[in-house]
Amino acid sequence: MDKKNEVTVVGHKNPDTDSICSAIAYANLKNHISDAHNYVAKRCGDISKETAYVLNRFSIAYPPCINDVRTQVSDIEIKWVDGVSGDISIKKAYGLMKKQNAVTLAVTKADGSIEGVITIGDIAASDMDVYDNRIVSKANTSYKNIIETLEGRVLCGDIDGYFNEGKVTIAANTPDLMEEYISAKDMVVTGNRFESQFFAVEMGVSCMVVCTNNDVSDTILKHAKEKGCVIISSPYDSYTVARLINQSMPIKYFMSSKNLLTFNIDDFTNDVKDVMAKNRHRYFPVLNEKGEYIGQISKRSFLDMEKKKLILVDHNEKNQAVDGVEYADILEIIDHHRLGSLETMNPVFFRNQPLGCTATIVYQMYNENGVEITAEIAGILCAAIISDTLMFRSPTCTPVDKMAAENLAELAGINIQEFAEEMFSAGSSLKERSDEEIFYQDYKEFTNGGMNFGVGQITSMNGNDLQVLKARMNDYMDKLIDKGGMDMIIIMLTNIIDESSILVFKGAKAKGFLETAYGSEFDGDSIFVPGMVSRKKQLVPDLIQAIQQ
C-alpha cells in the first residue's frame, strides 16, 4: 500500500465509542465517495470494554493504534543499495558503487544486521595512503579475492585459503639477488623466467603471480604443489598487477565498525534531521523493526517528503489530538464540540454541528452522498449515538440524534432499549480493570484562563457500582494530582438511570470553582449533582464560566 496516498481518520485520545465508531464509519464513507486517497480508520488509545462490545457485536475489526503522527523514516524515499559482505574486495565494492550510483555501502552479516559501513572516501584512502608491503597479508586477503581482482587463472594450489603472512614483492632482480628480499610466506609477482619462478617456490613463498598470461613448466607446478604454493596467472603486466593487488583486500579491513550511525524505519524525521545536521556523512543506513538493513537515506531524501494526512473526528482540541498533530496535514475535521485550540496550516473542510454525537453527522453525510449504510455500519453508528447521548438522556441530545439512532437501529436490526442495556452493562463491568484503565477510559484535557484541567467520565446503570468506584477513584486521583502537570482533575460518575453524577475532584482550586458552579453541599472531595449527565454541555461549560469569574 502506498503510504503517501493514505489518509488517517482518527478520533481523540482515550477514545470513547463515538470516537472509534465515527472514525470507522467516516473512513468507509470517504472510500466510497473519493478515489483520491486510501482512508484508514485508526485510534490513539485503548479500546474500552463498551466499544469492544460494540465492535465485536457487529463483527468490525479493531482499528490499528497510532500514537504519533509525525513523519517517520518509513514515510520518505529509502534508496535501495545492496548490503555486501565484508569479505568482498575493494575493487568489487567500487564496482558496485559505480553500478548503483552510491557513495556508501553497508556491510551486512548473514542475518541482515549491519556490521559496518564503507564509503567512497574509505576506498580512495585505501588506494592513496602509503602502506608497507605487508598490508595485503595484514588484511587477511583471500586468494579468491586476489584471483578475481587480477582476473587470473589458478595454475595450482588451494584457493580457499588466505594470504595472511609475509609481504608482496616483485621479482625484478636475478635469482642470485632474490634471496636478499624474498622470504618464506611472501607473495611474489614474476614474469616468465624459469629461474626466478623456481627460486621463489624454493624459498617457500605462499603465492606466486605470473604476469601477462604466462604459464609455468610442469617442473615448477610439481615443485609448487609439493611446497603448498598457490600459482596464479594474470593477463596484466607486472606494473598493473602491483597496482591492482592492493585492491583485492577485503573491505572489512577498511570499513567503519564502531559507533555506527544508523536510523530505524520508525524513527521520526524531525529527530533524524537534527542528527544529520551534526554529521558530515552523506548517506545513512536504515534498519527495519528486526534490525535488518533495508537501504539508505540522505538529506536529499527529505525534499519530497509529505506530511501524514489526517481527518479528525469527534474533537478539535490540540491537547486531545494524537501526538505530533502539529506536524501533520489536517484535511478535515468532523465534530460536535465547542471550538477548541487546534490550528491548521491550510484551509480545511470543517463540519461542526450542535448535535449530541459525531456519529449523527456521519449518518447525515452518508445520506447526503447517497451511500448505502450496511447493517454493520448502521450498528456502530447507532451504538455511538446511544453511548454519547446516554440513551437520549443527555441534554446534548437533539431530536436529530434520536431520529438518526432510530433509523440506524432499524437498518442494523436491533432494539435500542435492549441493545443499550447490554452495551452499558458491558462497559460498566470494571471490577477486573486497574484504577488507571478506569480513570482514563473516557478522559479529556482542557485549557482555559491559564488553568489546565482534566475531566473523565464513567457511566453506569448501577448506583452501587458507582459508590465503589468513588472510593477507588478518590485514592487514585490523590496520586495523580501529586505528580503535577494539571491544576485540577475531576471525574464524573454518572448514573444513567437516575440522570445524576457524583463529581470526584482534586486540585487546590477545584473546590472553589465547583462551589461557584454548584453551591456548597460537598462530601469531602466529591459533590453530588442531580440532573448532570453531560461533560460537554454541563460540567465543562460550568467550570469554564467559574474559572472566568
Over residues 445-493, the pLDDT tens digits come to 988 888 899 999 988 877 888 888 898 999 999 988 888 888 999 999 9
Tell me, yes or no, whether 514 lies in a domain.
yes
Residues 224 and 317 in one domain: no
Residues 177 and 200 in one domain: yes
For residue 222, what pLDDT is reported? 95
CA separation, residue 125 to residues 110, 117, 121, 255, 479 (Å): 27, 14, 6, 11, 61
pLDDT tier at 374 (50, 70, 90 boundaries)? very high
pLDDT tier at 430 (50, 70, 90 boundaries)? low
Residues 280 and 214 in one domain: no
Residues 441 and 500 in one domain: yes
Here the CATH number for the domain that contains residue 108 is 3.10.580.10
Residues 481 and 418 in one domain: no
Domain boundary among 219, 248, 277: 248
What pTM was computed for the model? 0.69
Domain boundary among 407, 427, 447: 427
Here the CATH number for the domain that contains residue 335 is 3.90.1640.10
DSSP character string of 434-482? -HHHHHHTTEEEEEETTEEEEEEEEEES-HHHHHHHHHHHHHHHHHHHH
- Asked if residue 278 has pLDDT above 70, the reply is yes
Here the CATH number for the domain that contains residue 488 is 3.10.310.20
Tell me, yes or no, whether 244 lies in a domain.
yes
Residues 17 and 101 in one domain: no
Residue 271's SS3 state is: helix
Tell me, yes or no, whether 132 lies in a domain.
no
pLDDT digits (tens, 9 = 90+) for 22-57: 999 999 999 999 988 999 999 999 999 899 999 999
Residues 449 and 533 in one domain: yes
Tell me, yes or no, whether 318 lies in a domain.
yes
CA separation, residue 284 to residues 61, 83, 305, 497 (Å): 38, 13, 17, 61
pLDDT, mean over the chain = 91
Percent of the chain clearing pLDDT 70 (strictly above): 97
Residue 294's SS3 state is: strand
Contact 368, 345 (CB under 8 A): no
pLDDT digits (tens, 9 = 90+) for 206-252: 999 999 998 899 999 999 999 999 999 999 999 999 889 999 999 99
* Beta carbons within 10 angstroms of residue 465's beta carbon: 17
Average pLDDT over residues 410-423: 94
For residue 223, what pLDDT is reported? 94
The whole domain housing 514 covers 435-548
Percent of the chain clearing pLDDT 90 (strictly above): 68
pLDDT tier at 130 (50, 70, 90 boundaries)? low
Domain boundary among 427, 444, 479: 427
Tell me, yes or no, whether 418 lies in a domain.
yes
pLDDT tier at 277 (50, 70, 90 boundaries)? confident
Residues 257 and 332 in one domain: no
Cβ neighbours of residue 312 closer than 8 Å, sequence gap 6 or more: 10, 11, 321, 325, 330, 332, 333, 334, 335, 342
3-state SS of the chain: helix, strand, coil percent to 5? 40, 25, 35
Task: Name the grid cell of 172.
Answer: 625484478
Tell me, yes or no, whether 131 lies in a domain.
no
Residues 259 and 329 in one domain: no
For residue 438, what pLDDT is reported? 86
- Asked if residue 151 has pLDDT above 90, the reply is yes
Tell me, yes or no, whether 330 lies in a domain.
yes
**Termini Cα distance of the chain:** 53
Tell me, yes or no, whether 130 lies in a domain.
no
- Asked if residue 2 has pLDDT above 80, the reply is no
- Domains: count for the chain: 4
Here the CATH number for the domain that contains residue 215 is 3.40.1390.20
pLDDT tier at 1 (50, 70, 90 boundaries)? very low
Find the range with the poorest average confidence among 224-233, 292-301, 314-323, 432-441.
432-441
Residues 404 and 353 in one domain: yes
For residue 356, what pLDDT is reported? 94
Residues 401 and 332 in one domain: yes
* Beta carbons within 10 angstroms of residue 449's beta carbon: 11
Residues 284 and 262 in one domain: yes
Task: Name the grid cell of 318.
Answer: 490540540
Instruction: Burial-class residue 4 by CB neighbours within 10 Å (0-12, 13-18, 19+).
Output: middle
